[in-house]
Chains A and B, each alone.
Chain A
Amino acid sequence: MTIVDAATHPPVQNWPDAVRAAAQLLVDMGSAASSYPQACVDVVHEHGPYIVLTPGLALVHARPETGGVRMGVAVLRLDRPVHFGHETNDPVDLLVAFSSPDHQAHVETLSHLARALGAGLAERLRAAESVGSLRQTVKEVLDAD
């Protein structure tokens, strides 16, 4: 069972703030520990902005050992996009954060997510007119099975 949530966010100063805000949703819903948001920022400092998978979208995550408690997915849509310093995929307005308790639990959820993104999920998230419909969209996708 994957816990999901979604939110929109007023303008943030920079990508670390955006990443922390997205991961904080996971903390708030009890699927990650308070150490997790900073761990997600550290991943980018350490490995580069590769989490920006596709134009406009970042997959915010860190190793389970750094604070993953349960399988959770949270979508944060920014009112004003941020730049990660990615060569081709900036600017980013959608952050999809996930947490996993181990190195296996997320595989199925992420495969749903990959399929949904391939079928236009990002556009639907951008078009959602309220936080409620944003949340509903994420729920539909991840409870699909």
Chain B
Amino acid sequence: MSKAPLHVLTVCGVGMGSSLMLKMTAEEALRALNVDAQVEATDVSTARSMTPDVVIGQGMHTQEVSDLAPIVVTVSDFLDREGLQETLQQELAAQGWLP
């Protein structure tokens, strides 16, 4: 695993409500995985100018930023911590970012 914290973006349309809820779910999931991460909530257009390691959002938004990060995760239920944790575990392991 790299030394710098994982840079994670949660995205939505406005960048202040839904993405914030998702940020909290993502922080819990990453904590459960023991991953040192910095999670930021933002809107899709701001996200385009950033270079995160991971992007998480609903399909209608992740498809707009599908090439923004090595890992792009689509979720439909923003409160499903266990589901997100499972997906992140698989994706991070596939990138060699988990032991």
- Chain A contact patch, size range: 20 to 34
| A61-B16 in contact given A87-B59, A89-B77, A118-B81 (Cβ < 8 Å) | yes
Total A-B contacts with CB atoms under 8 angstroms apart: 77
Task: Give the total of B residues in contact with A, Cβ under 8 Å.
Answer: 23
A110 at the interface (CB under 8 A from B): yes
Interface centre among B17, B44, B61, B81 (most CB of A within 10 A): B17
- Interface residues of chain B, those whose CB is within 8 Å of chain A, are 12-14, 16-18, 20-22, 24-25, 44, 57-61, 76-81
Some 27 contacts from A to B, beta carbons below 8 A apart, are A43-B13, A46-B13, A47-B12, A47-B44, A50-B12, A50-B13, A50-B58, A50-B60, A53-B78, A54-B79, A61-B14, A61-B16, A63-B16, A87-B59, A87-B76, A89-B76, A89-B77, A100-B16, A106-B17, A106-B20, A107-B20, A110-B24, A111-B20, A114-B20, A114-B21, A114-B25, A115-B24
